[in-house]
């Protein structure tokens, strides 16, 4: 196997035996085969569209497949093979004219055939290092698009511009393009990223209301509970409805924390609080939670034997041996098995941190609507010098020790600097008692990585208020990345023209020296160094 799509790629180069994430060689091959299959499907659907014979089912399946191949989503070979055969079935319902590429005609008879195909068509099938780098950068950006679009579709929306771009971009990787052409598609992916994030913001706020600034408890109550993690708000909504009046409480974990800020979700008294931190702590925190855990999207850490029977997956996630809650044919998904399971479990063990310098209440909900409603106060604080600088510290958390950099960086920031964040990166500093400036929290938490669009709107509103452009604002970017949604957010920032982004803890292994050169020369991208050096540059 060869996989280098995430920040934790082995030795900073790529995983070749088994993923650091726990992905087996066969699973890596099936994910590569799935990507190859949706490339063939895309090519056929683009050709079919020319005669009005395209298949509308292709777009959602492509999005789901891209999501399933994102880091820490699906470790279940049978489910991945199911997606491959679904993609091929749609592909083969389309006309064959103009499609002779192997990806458009190949068919597996068994899962072993698919594993073999994945082995032949994976990352290393492209020999030229720079072409490979640009193709993979595009595919990883597309995995981000697919993931965000999956949520858009789940909430009943669609955007043909997004699905057509996914198809065109996937198909483009089967052809020989010049470096300039490939760079142009990569940047276009960033433009589509902004669009899909905007669509998701509209879908979420229409369904659940605009997030409000909300304190969230981290200490558990005394009833048995269900822990829900990942990014899918619709799953949480349906779980809250079904647990109402059952005596079973609901807690959020990881990227589900921002759900507490939505009016439609926070109204449930049995949505008690947030339990634990970000995904790398799952083994310890899922163990001590004592009750069932619903994993809706990334990140899933391969569960330990001691609690694997309490883990349930749904949506694009999967793990062999874990119960999967399927889509509903109509109405809501059925979470009754989790509720019955919870009733047999003891309440969660309290692991909230109660120590000087820390807070056991997390302040969330600083999305665009809430922040723009106090925009005058923010602008005044900047004009009066109470806020001298903003540092965007959005992105992902990860398990490596070097991520302590972000805690130390947050602690060391001067008191007149405000952090803007979104994504699970915030767990490195969101329980530090960093205080407020004139009532404005020093950690402005816009929500999930899915909510990065809020940060864009906030930055654009500041630029308008100060009659300047994004790069002339007192805003610097110290982004932590791990998986491919973060790759898309980065491409989106580049599309918006943001310069001088600092990226860490390591630069992507899939960026070749020549491609890095393009990013440095055109956008001033740099790797983080030490807290001391980076503070001089950014704060």
Q: Which residues of the chain form contacts with ligand SF3 (CB under 6 A)?
A: 72, 254-255, 279, 298-299, 396-397, 423-424, 448-449, 482-483, 485-486
Which of left, alpha, beta for 202 (phi over 0: left; psi -120 to 50: alpha)? alpha
Q: Is 299 annotated as a binding residue?
A: yes
Q: Is 485 annotated as a binding residue?
A: yes
Strand, helix or coil for residue 416: coil
The nearer residue to ligand SF3, 455 or 518, going by C-beta atoms, is: 455
Shortest Cβ 367–ligand SF3 spacing (Å): 15
The nearer residue to ligand SF4, 259 or 449, going by C-beta atoms, is: 449
The nearer residue to ligand SF4, 23 or 135, going by C-beta atoms, is: 23
- Ranked by CB distance to ligand SF4, the top (closest) residue is 19
Shortest Cβ 304–ligand SF4 spacing (Å): 18
| 207 belongs to the binding site for ligand SF4 (CB under 6 A) | no
Backbone angles phi, psi at 417, to 5 degrees: -110, 135
- The span of 1-9, 36-44, 162-170, 378-386 binding ligand SF4 (CB under 6 A) equals 1-9
Helices assigned H by DSSP within 173-268: 179-208, 233-243, 263-266
CA distance 259 to 270: 13
* Encoded tokens for 379: 């602008």
The nearer residue to ligand SF3, 58 or 265, going by C-beta atoms, is: 265
The nearer residue to ligand SF4, 487 or 525, going by C-beta atoms, is: 487
The terminus-to-terminus CA distance of the chain in angstroms comes to: 42
Binding to ligand SF4 (CB under 6 A) within 17-46 occurs at: 19-21, 23
Shortest Cβ 239–ligand SF4 spacing (Å): 28
Backbone angles phi, psi at 354, to 5 degrees: -125, 95
Query: Nearest CA to 394 among 447, 460, 463?
Result: 447
Cα–Cα distances in Å, from 196 out to 28, 152, 218, 446? 27, 8, 32, 17
Q: Is 6 annotated as a binding residue?
A: yes
For residues 67, 73, 77, 79, the Cα torsion angle rounded to the nearest 10 degrees is -60
| Partner from ligand SF4, ligand SF3, none binding residue 453, C-beta < 5-8 Å depending on class | none
Among positions 11, 12, 13, 15, the unique one binding ligand SF4 when judged by CB under 6 A:
15
* β-strand partners of 503: 479, 527
- The span of 4-12, 48-56, 352-360, 413-421 binding ligand SF4 (CB under 6 A) equals 4-12
* Encoded tokens for 124: 């290393």
User: How far does CA 200 lie from the centroid of its chain?
Assistant: 12
| Partner from ligand SF4, ligand SF3, none binding residue 279, C-beta < 5-8 Å depending on class | ligand SF3
Number of residues engaging ligand SF4 in binding (CB under 6 A): 12
β-pairing, 225-229 vs 214-217, is unpaired
Binding to ligand SF4 (CB under 6 A) within 62-81 occurs at: 71
Q: What are the residues whose beta carbons fall under 8 Å from the beta carbon of 51, sequence distance 6 or more? A: 95, 97
Shortest Cβ 125–ligand SF3 spacing (Å): 27
What residue ranges in 198-351 does DSSP mark as E strands? 214-217, 225-229, 249-252, 271-274, 293-295, 311-314, 318-319, 323-325
- The span of 7-15, 300-308, 367-375, 523-531 binding ligand SF4 (CB under 6 A) equals 7-15
CA distance 461 to 401: 36
Q: Is 255 annotated as a binding residue?
A: yes
| 6 belongs to the binding site for ligand SF4 (CB under 6 A) | yes
Which of left, alpha, beta for 14 (phi over 0: left; psi -120 to 50: alpha)? left
Maximal CA-CA distance, the chain: 69
- The span of 5-13, 89-97, 130-138, 337-345 binding ligand SF4 (CB under 6 A) equals 5-13
| 341 belongs to the binding site for ligand SF4 (CB under 6 A) | no
The nearer residue to ligand SF4, 5 or 214, going by C-beta atoms, is: 5
Backbone angles phi, psi at 305, to 5 degrees: -55, -35
| Partner from ligand SF4, ligand SF3, none binding residue 21, C-beta < 5-8 Å depending on class | ligand SF4
Q: List, as residue ranges, the binding site.
A: 3, 6, 15, 21, 231, 255, 299, 396, 424, 449, 483, 485
Q: Which residues sit at the interface with ligand SF4, rule CB under 6 A?
A: 3-6, 8-9, 15, 19-21, 23, 71
Q: List, as residue ranges, the binding site for hybrid [4Fe-2O-2S] cluster.
A: 231, 255, 299, 396, 424, 449, 483, 485
């Amino acid at each position: 196997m060869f996989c280098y799509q995430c920040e934790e790629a082995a030795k900073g180069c790529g995983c070749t035996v088994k993923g650091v994430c726990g992905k087996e060689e066969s699973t890596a091959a099936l994910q590569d085969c799935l990507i190859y299959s949706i490339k063939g499907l895309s090519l056929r659907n683009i050709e079919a569209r020319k005669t009005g014979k395209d298949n509308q089912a292709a777009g959602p399946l492509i999005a789901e497949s891209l999501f399933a191949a994102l880091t820490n989503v699906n470790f279940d070979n049978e489910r991945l093979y199911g997606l491959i055969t679904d993609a091929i079935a749609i592909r083969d319902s389309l006309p064959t004219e103009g499609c002779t590429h192997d990806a458009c005609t190949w068919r597996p008879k068994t899962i072993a055939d698919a594993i073999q195909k994945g082995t032949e068509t994976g990352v290393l099938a492209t020999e030229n290092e720079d072409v490979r780098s640009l193709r993979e950068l595009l595919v990883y950006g597309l995995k981000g698009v697919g993931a965000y679009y999956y949520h858009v579709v789940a909430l009943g929306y669609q955007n043909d511009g997004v699905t057509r771009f996914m198809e065109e971009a996937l198909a483009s990787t089967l052809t020989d393009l010049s470096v300039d052409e490939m760079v142009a598609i990569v940047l276009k992916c960033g433009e589509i990223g902004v669009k899909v994030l905007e669509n998701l913001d509209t879908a979420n706020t229409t369904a659940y209301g605009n997030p409000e600034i909300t304190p969230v408890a981290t200490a558990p109550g005394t009833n048995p509970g269900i822990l829900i993690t990942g990014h899918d708000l619709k799953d949480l909504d349906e779980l809250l409805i079904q647990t109402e009046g059952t005596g079973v409480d609901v807690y959020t974990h990881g990227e589900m924390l921002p759900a507490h800020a939505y009016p439609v979700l926070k109204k449930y008294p049995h949505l008690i609080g947030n339990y634990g931190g970000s995904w790398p702590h799952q083994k310890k925190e899922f163990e001590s939670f004592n009750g069932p855990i619903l994993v809706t999207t990334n990140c899933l850490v391969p569960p330990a034997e001691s609690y694997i029977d309490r883990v349930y997956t749904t949506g694009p996630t999967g793990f062999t041996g874990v119960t999967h809650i399927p889509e509903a044919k109509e109405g809501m998904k059925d979470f009754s098995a989790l509720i019955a399971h919870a009733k047999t479990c003891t309440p969660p063990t309290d692991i909230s941190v109660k120590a000087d310098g820390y807070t056991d209440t997390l302040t969330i909900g600083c999305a665009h609507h809430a922040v723009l409603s106090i925009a005058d106060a923010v602008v005044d604080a900047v004009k009066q010098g109470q806020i001298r600088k903003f540092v965007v510290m959005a992105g992902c958390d990860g398990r490596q020790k070097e991520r302590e950099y972000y805690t130390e960086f947050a602690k060391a920031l001067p008191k007149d600097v405000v952090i803007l964040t979104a994504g699970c990166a915030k767990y490195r500093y969101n329980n530090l008692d960093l205080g407020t400036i004139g009532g404005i929290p020093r950690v402005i938490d816009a929500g999930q990585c899915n909510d990065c669009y809020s940060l864009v709107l906030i930055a654009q509103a500041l630029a308008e208020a100060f009659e300047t452009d994004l790069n002339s604002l007192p805003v610097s970017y110290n982004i932590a990345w791990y998986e491919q949604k973060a790759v898309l957010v980065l491409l989106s920032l580049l599309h918006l023209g943001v310069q001088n982004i600092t990226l860490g803890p390591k630069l992507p292994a899939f960026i070749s020296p020549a491609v890095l050169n393009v990013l440095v020369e055109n956008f001033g991208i740099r790797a983080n160094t030490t807290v001391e050096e980076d503070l001089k540059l950014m704060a």
